Structures are given as structure tokens and as C-alpha cells.
Structure 1
Amino acid sequence: VQKDSPNAKEILIAVGGGTGAGTGTGSAKMDRDLIRRMRYQDKVVLVLMLAAYFIALMFTASLAYRQASNSSPVRFYGDPRVEDLMTDNADADDFLHVFAQPPRSVQLCIQGMLPVPTLLAHLVDGSLEWQGCFYRHVFSFGLDLTPFIVHEEEGRSSGLEADGVETLRKFLREDVNDLATVQLVKEVSWDRWEELATNIKHKIRQKGFDGLIHVSWRNTETLTVYKNRTWANFLHRGITRVLLALSVVGYMWYAPYMYFRQRGPEVHPKFKVDIDIESYWQLIGEKINERGFDPQ
């Protein structure tokens, strides 16, 4: 015969009545009753601990949400890891005037490397493998091109095509998604820069360096612009991500939610290096040697 399930009164008595003694009392009925009480009490303790844990998480989240709200007139702000820019205007022209500024991290990068015997590669700090051989860095430097960056077309302060401006204008005027962002992918062009790279390699080899020389240039920079809204600020805060991770299941919701909700327009302002390679070579040619670059 199956025993009836205990009612609420019996469970409360078992939880609140304590055990009073250990098992092995000599009475099978009393031992079963004590074991049942301990099981109920263990479950209640576990539930209370989980409740306290999640209440603490929610309380901390509420404090973080309060801190995310502000009375600032700023409506949009750029990713501070790239550029600390902001504006209180939703007009497309003003928006581009603030955020579509020339990129600040455009560099011509030159690296010189010498081969390392394969057996010794693991003993050399920073050794790298390229085309089946190992190399170590001898010199590495970057030539800043920022002072020479201008918008690609004169008279177009944003460096953006007309359809891109219209897409942005529609977003600023109509979008109601607090989490939507604008991606400004700033692209820089430089006519005949490959010839300059060849000249640099030739000059370094003339000075006596016989290793591998790699010349490249960093010609793109992406700036993400966020809305200054409480919900968006709250979800972008590091403490929010920590709390969601501690909640175990919260991050499973957070990642796809942010992926889909952060989607917004991507615009491509165009820039160029406004100095020809002959003039630039006059600035750097005498300072290049077998050790890389000597600014003196």
C-alpha cells in the first residue's frame, strides 16, 4: 500500500520541530520520522540559500540600474576605448561632425626579423613562425600618419556618401531601440603607398640588414556610437555582465539579446593621406637605418 503524501501541516511541523536526537533510537518508526524531518530541513535550507543569493543579485542589479541613469543632455557617445566623443544633438550633420573625425590610429608599421634555428625557437622570447621558418623581432616601429589625414573629398566634411548620410538620418530620427548602435568604419586610402614600402625595405637592406622586413599599414578604425539611455547604459556596464554570469542562466539570455538588439546602421566615412610619397620620404628617408628608425 502506497503511503499518502504528507500534507502542508506535517511538513511545517517536520521543518520547525527540529530532530531532537540522532537516528538509531531503537524505534524504526522514530528513525524514519527523524530522517524525514532532516530531509525536509535540508531542502528548506537549500531553498533559503538560493533565495538569499538571488535576492542579493537583484538588489545589486537595482543599484547598478540606478547608477546607469543620469540627467545628462548627452544623447550619443562614442566608445571611450577609441575616442571619448559625445553629442546632445540628433541631427545627422552634427552627428557626423562630432563622430566622423579623422581616425587617430593610422600608422605605417615596419618590422624587421631574423631567422632562428628551429631547435632554439622555443628558447627565444617572442619568436614566430612564418612559411615554415621561425623568426625573432629585431626592430618594430610605427610611423604616425594622423597629421596628414583629411576627408577624401573636399567640401564633404563627413567623408560619407549621400545614401549613407540618409540612412544615418533616418536612424537618428526614427529608431526607438535603446540598444541600437552606429558603427563608423573609418577607411583611409593612400595612393602608391606600396612604392613607399618598397623604398623603406630597400633602404634598410642598403644599411646592412639582411633579415625579413615586413611593411604594412593600419588604415581602418571602427568607432561604435551608443545611445545614452538608462537601459542601454545598464546592460553595457561591467557589473551587469558579472551579475548575469553569477546568476548562471542570465548570460544565456544576455548574449543573444545584445547581439540582436545592438544592430544598427554601419557607415563608412572615407579619408585619405594628404601627402604624396615623395614628400613623405623626405621626412623619414634619412632616419631609417639597419636598426629600424632613428628619430634623431
Structure 2
Amino acid sequence: MKIGLVTDNTCNLTAEEIKEYDVRIVSLYINRNGNYTKATELNLDEYYEELAAAAELPRTSQPSPQDFIPVFKEALETYDALIVPVLSGKLSGTNVSANIAAKAFEKPIHVIDSQLIADGTGMLVKNLGDMINSGANLDELVEYGTNFHEKTRTFCSTDDLSYLQKGGRIGKAKALMGNLLKMKPVIIVDEGELKPVENVRGNKKLLDVLVSHVLSEIPPERLRRARVLTIWRKEDGKTLERMLREKAPGAEVELRVIEAIIGTHLGPQGIGVISEMK
């Protein structure tokens, strides 16, 4: 049985990775005053400049079943079955749309709520691709994909809580107070939800705390890979990358830019680390 992969654009895979694993991508949407644009069609540099200056924050929107159907149809011309890991169902209805679309086909399509965001889902897609290439069967792939979130940890933060507030992730009062006090929240993705961990003051303290949380959850000797994610905070991203390389020299550590959907909710000053244990 030939098994293929479909996912959504928040996985943050590179063009090379998409080609290597023959992954089909379904895009979420950016809604700017009723004008919908696929996130995959945006110029990220221009979009983040626009986001920073926007009086009204763009909204994000899940793909519809009709977005998935032609992608599934095309993929099933090559493959006998599909595995479809997508963004956490507690943060997006993308998995609902994918499941509705899957019912239109007789061939097996297994939609997996990754309970992850961004490169966490991307790591899962790559691992599933490696398993497919090694001959794993459908049941093994579904079980692995369903439980993979237990092997990852996601921590993130932002300098401006307004984006989380406007996106409905925190209350207005909390955002205002945090910005006035110049507090930097540390947030974890836990069971698919964004949950507060602590607030810190000062950028150096934040970077130290992010690394500390990553390595307290996954000891350096067990860290397989880490993705440092940022938008405008390139120097902070490089600092986090260096710190993780020094403390976990056996891990694969890489700095990447946050894609538009997650970036809309964190804002241009967003930063985070997604890690995977061996």
C-alpha cells in the first residue's frame, strides 16, 4: 500500500522538505476586512510590516472541506491511503474540515489532530515520511501520529500581548496590564491549548527562561531536535539557537521564521522554541 501525506501550511515545512516527502499542503486563510488570502500566497516580509502597522488585526480562518477535497483527490491518484496531521483542533477547526472532506472518498484518509502548532506538526510530518519510507503500515502511522505530541514541548512568548488579546487568546485587561508592566509571558502548548507558565521581565531573562523550560522538560541528552522560531527578533533567535547548541550539542537545532497564521497571533515580536525528544 502506497501511503501519502497531506497537512496544513502552519507546519512550516520548507520547500525542500515538502518535495522530499511529497507532501500536499492545504492553506489556512488571512482575513483582512472580509478579504481572504491564502497564507501560502503572502510575502511574509510585507505581511509582517502590514501587521505591525495595522489598526485592526487581521483574522485567521480555517480551510473549508472544499479546500481539502481537490488536494485529497489529486493525492489519491498516486497513493492508496493518506495520513493528514493538522494544527491542534483546540486552536483551529482545520481538522473538522479535513474530516468532512475525507468522507467524500472511499480510500482511507486518516486525519490526525496533532495537538501541536507550527514546526511541531512539521516534525511529525517529517517523521511520518521517514516511517513510510521504512515500510511502516497504516495502523503504525496513525498510532504514532496520534501520540507524537507527548514527545514534544512548545514554549513561546511575545513582547506585545495585544496580538494575543486581539486574536482572542487572552483578555484585554491582562494584555493591557502586561504591556504596561513590560512583562513577557511564557506560554506552553499543552494538550493542544495555549496555557500560561509564568511572566518574566527583561529580554535576557526571557531567553534564559525559555531554554531552562525546554531543557527541564527534555534533558539535553534526550533532545533530538529543536526549532527556534521568530519573526523580527533575529538576534534573539540566534542567541537561543547558540544556547541550545551549547547545552545540547547532540541535538539538531535550527532557526526558522514563523509562518503567517501563527505569526498573526503572536505578532512580529513573537518568539518560541519547539523541541522533540528522542
Band the TM-score falls in, shorter-chain normalisation: under 0.3
The structure showing larger relative contact order (alpha-carbon pairs under 8 Å, at least 6 residues apart) is 1
Larger Rg: 1
Which structure features the higher share of strand residues?
2
Query: TM-score scaled by structure 1?
Result: 0.18
